[in-house]
């Protein structure tokens, strides 16, 4: 996917091929731990006309492999905000799965607090409401590569044949280690709720996120909060992609985009 011009020496966004109509709104998509922008490459045709999907490419993965991964959320947001601001010149929505949900939600709060702008809708997926997040005391710097691979196996988001490939692991483990540190060390700091509508997606068999965790997102916004549960585990996002995109399209259309 073609990148946008660099902002502050970094390339943050990848256009997701899809609709051809002029964009009236933008949807920014934030990947889960260890993943890159290409996990959203098939999303464009499933979204409404007039919605331009942009996948966020975090440092240390895919074509940003040579960039140092960031393991601290505040540091990541400080670098990310200047890269995204030029593209927030029209209505925008955020989508994030698992770790990506934490990033996009905290990005929303920072944009509101520091720049006075807010997303017209947020989609959070496969993630506990932030007040239920459990940080871990053990850091990931001392985890062995074997332990990191075991974590990837447990998450069931990476084909086993890739995890048995040493060359593939050399590419993904540094970013995954940083992402896991960011995710597990996150501490929710209560503040004023957002005001935008929120759509929450979860998997019926996700061992880490149950329905009550999903419903808790309603406490973090004064806008309406819609919870939808799909069949599958933590990565229902892949197995139920058509249904997820249909639900997102309805929500975006309901916001007056199409």
Please identify every residue annotated as catalytic: 98
Packing angle, helices 99-115 and 166-185, rounded to 10:
50
Closest residue by Cα to residue 121 from 38, 195, 34, 12: 195
Cβ-proximal residues to 112 (8 Å cutoff; 6+ apart), any chain: 118, 194
Closest residue by Cα to residue 221 from 142, 141, 123: 123
Closest residue by Cα to residue 208 from 53, 65, 33: 33
- List, in sequence order, every beta strand (DSSP E) within the chain: 13-15, 25-30, 51-56, 92-97, 121-125, 198-203, 225-230
C-alpha angle 166-55-6 in degrees, rounded to nearest 5: 95
CB 202 within 8 A of CB 125: yes
């Amino acid at each position: 996917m073609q990148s946008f011009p660099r902002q502050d020496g970094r390339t943050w966004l990848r256009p997701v091929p899809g609709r051809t109509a002029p964009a009236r709104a933008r949807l920014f998509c934030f990947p889960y731990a260890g993943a890159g922008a290409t996990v959203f490459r098939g999303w464009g045709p499933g979204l409404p006309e007039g919605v331009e999907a942009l996948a966020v490419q975090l440092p240390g993965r895919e074509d940003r492999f040579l960039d140092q991964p960031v393991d601290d959320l505040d540091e990541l947001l400080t670098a990310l905000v200047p890269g995204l601001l030029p593209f927030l010149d029209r209505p925008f929505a955020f989508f994030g799965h698992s770790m990506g949900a934490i990033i996009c939600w905290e990005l929303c709060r920072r944009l509101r607090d520091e720049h006075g702008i807010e997303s017209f809708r947020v989609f959070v997926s496969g993630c506990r409401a932030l007040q239920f997040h459990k940080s871990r005391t053990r850091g990931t710097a001392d985890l062995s590569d074997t332990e990191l691979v075991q974590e990837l196996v447990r998450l069931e988001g990476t084909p086993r044949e890739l995890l048995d490939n040493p060359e593939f692991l050399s590419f993904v483990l540094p970013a995954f280690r940083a992402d896991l540190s960011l995710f597990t060390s996150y501490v929710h700091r209560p503040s004023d709720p957002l005001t935008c509508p929120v759509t929450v997606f979860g998997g019926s068999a996700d061992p880490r996120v149950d329905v009550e965790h999903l419903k808790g997102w309603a406490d973090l916004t004064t806008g309406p909060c819609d919870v939808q549960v799909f069949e599958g585990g933590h990565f229902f996002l892949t197995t139920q992609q058509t249904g997820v995109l249909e639900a997102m399209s309805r929500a975006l259309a309901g916001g007056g985009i199409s």
